[in-house]
Structure 1
Amino acid sequence: MLRLFLTGCLLALVTACATVAPPPPAGWQALAPGLAHRAWSPWPDSDVQALRVDLQHVRVTQSPPAEAGQSVDQMASGRGALASINASFFDREFRPRGVTVTEGQPWPALLKAPASAKDPLLACDTQCVIRFDAPPTPEPAWRMAVSGTPWLVRDGHARTAEDDASCANLCAYTHPRTAIGLDASGRHLIVLLAAGRRGDVKGLTLAQTAQLLRELGAVQAFNLDGGGSSTLLIQGESRLPRPFNEPALRRVANAVHFVAP
């Protein structure tokens, strides 16, 4: 009987330990179990922030179509979220570019822009993956999907200044940035945002963004909408410095939220 009791206690202890999020790596500040934050200036004229999201302890969700055209801080879907970021590129009617899914429901924009299926995307069901061969319609098991463009890190290879030369305005010029990636284990999302258009703080090129994501451990990553759209909320508070010419948060098509399970 004592042996059974001790065995049961040991199993309970192991199970409890398995559900506790490990501490973040050095240089990261824990915000909540499974969510860490980092802010630094990798170059003298840069202002960068990042999130490290443990997908075993934090759930990734997306705002619904009904909230398109609102700023991220206005979206009811993000109330109570640990953190939120802006997401897709969009048109004047706030229709997101690329495959987009919220709580298993594809957005209507899919019917209007099938060509955007070439854009890389993050898709989540029981786990999250980054796809560079996105299908024209989402897979039935996807509970959320968000698209962006272009690729930043692919199979561990970060894009370079030579890659940026083919899309100078978007890629090679410095802008505020929002980007997302996955580490080799598939367990951690790496989210990177850069402030810009703030006097000496211009922003980053995509090659610089890719370099930082790779240094943070991303082996697959892509670019989300940036410029004045770039937004980071931590527990509802705006944390990314705004461009001088656009102090208020911009209205966007959608947002990605990181929430406690």
Structure 2
Amino acid sequence: MLCIWRFVVPALLLSLLVGCTPSPPPTPLPMHWQPIDSLQALLPDDIRVYAGRNDSLPLRAWYVRIDEPDPAITTRVVVSDEEDRRESASSFARDPGVCVVANGGYFTMKRTPAEHVGLLVHDRAVLAAPSTTFQRDSLTFEAVRAAIGFREDGTIELGWAAAQDDAILRWSEPVPNRPDAPASLSTTAEPWPVRDALGAGPALLVDGAIRVTDDEEVFFGTSIPETHPRTAAGRTRDGDLILMVVDGRQPESRGVRLDELAVLMRDVGAVDAINLDGGGSSSLVVRGTLLNRPAGDTLQREVMSALVTYCE
């Protein structure tokens, strides 16, 4: 059958027409969400922070909803300027005016300095261009992976993106890869005039519908689709930013699969969303307070990139 999916963004309509097989509905994940009053008192009204729990799974999660675009609030993709190109989310949060920090994209942990694995754009400069070729056993796949971008006016856009010769490009659909059937990268990309962009993946939500594109983005053969601590970023129908972190690998919180993360993001109002780096990297800091326990510990993994919201 034919399934139609759409990315609706303020400045650009992305439509996707692909052949697909219906998937069973994801398992509901009922969460009890409450505002964190102690932190809310330190934030402007346009930034709201919540904690959620499900004791039967068990699961612990937190999210921040940020009104965008707002001239008094700015979210940027920020890169570590340390010698090894790595620092903790709390370290990013020490900069003046920072209200919220979420860890960003994938990076090489065994190289010094670290190298970003995925699109990385800051102030319209391409700092890292993602690979579009991936090897799985004897097969070679072409793919573009999901990214979140911010225009100069603060408008948030999501899509599948890459960079070629310092040009930032966005595709209207992912490459229709399957684990046993590589597909070819379409040339129908459009320029993506964003100020900042962060690539990770896979996509989780497209125009309010759950659509996890881990196969299309060639995450099969990796641990990414398994149950982990998670970080996600998304946008609401009216253009607000949602940043979420889910704890995992601990008795109080088991972590989530990608489809479960999509459910959580949808249930708090996101219509478009992507998965960011997770596991021990997952961190969400609000007004200098680390909300979660990364991989069951109070220590934070140093990361290369972050989504940082300034509110003063």
TM bracket (short chain):
0.7 to 0.9
Paired position in structure 2 for 1:254: 305
Shift in Å, 1:43: 5.5
Shift in Å, 1:167: 6.4
Which residue of the other structure, out of 62, 67, 85, is the alignment partner of 1:54?
Answer: 67
Instruction: Report if aligned partners of 1:88, 1:225 keep a CA contact under 8 Å in 2.
Output: yes
Paired position in structure 2 for 1:88: 105
Shift in Å, 1:131: 3.1
Does residue 231 in structure 1 map to residue 283 in structure 2?
Answer: yes
Question: What is the CA deviation profile of residues 91-117 of structure 1, one whole-angstrom value per residue up to 9, with x for unaligned ones?
Answer: 13322222211233221x32xx34287
Residues 174 and 69 of structure 1: is their aligned pair in 2 closer, same or farther, counting only changes over 3 Å? same
Q: Where does structure 1 lack aligned partners over 5 or more consecutive residues?
A: 1-25
Does residue 206 in structure 1 map to residue 233 in structure 2?
Answer: no
Structure-2 separation of matches of 1:201 and 1:77: 28
Shift in Å, 1:254: 0.7
More strand by share: 2
Q: Where does structure 2 lack aligned partners over 5 or more consecutive residues?
A: 1-32, 134-142, 169-190
Structure-1 separation of matches of 2:93 and 2:251: 33
Structure-1 separation of matches of 2:123 and 2:86: 19
Instruction: Report if aligned partners of 1:46, 1:203 keep a CA contact under 8 Å in 2.
Output: yes
Residues 163 and 209 of structure 1: is their aligned pair in 2 closer, same or farther, counting only changes over 3 Å? farther
The letter of the residue matching 2:299 is: A
Structure-2 separation of matches of 1:77 and 1:146: 21
Paired position in structure 2 for 1:14: none
Shift in Å, 1:198: 1.4
Q: Which has the larger radius of gyration?
A: 1
Does residue 98 in structure 1 map to residue 118 in structure 2?
Answer: yes
Instruction: Report if aligned partners of 1:118, 1:132 keep a CA contact under 8 Å in 2.
Output: no
Does residue 184 in structure 1 map to residue 237 in structure 2?
Answer: yes
Shift in Å, 1:76: 7.1
Instruction: Report if aligned partners of 2:80, 2:87 keep a CA contact under 8 Å in 1.
Output: no
Paired position in structure 2 for 1:38: 50
- The size of the alignment, in residue pairs, is 230
Residues 41 and 169 of structure 1: is their aligned pair in 2 closer, same or farther, counting only changes over 3 Å? same
Mapping of residues 114-153 of structure 1, within 5 Å: 114-115=131-132, 118-125=144-151, 126-136=153-163, 137-138=167-168, 141-153=193-205
Instruction: Report if aligned partners of 1:153, 1:221 keep a CA contact under 8 Å in 2.
Output: yes
Structure-2 separation of matches of 1:38 and 1:102: 28
SS in 1 for 2:116: coil
**C-alpha root-mean-square deviation of aligned residues, in Å?**
2.9
More helix by share: 1
SS in 1 for 2:292: coil
Structure-1 separation of matches of 2:96 and 2:148: 22
TM-score of the pair, normalised by structure 2:
0.66
Structure-2 separation of matches of 1:206 and 1:196: 13
Shift in Å, 1:183: 1.0
Structure-2 separation of matches of 1:249 and 1:225: 13
Does residue 74 in structure 1 map to residue 74 in structure 2?
Answer: no
Structure-2 separation of matches of 1:81 and 1:151: 27
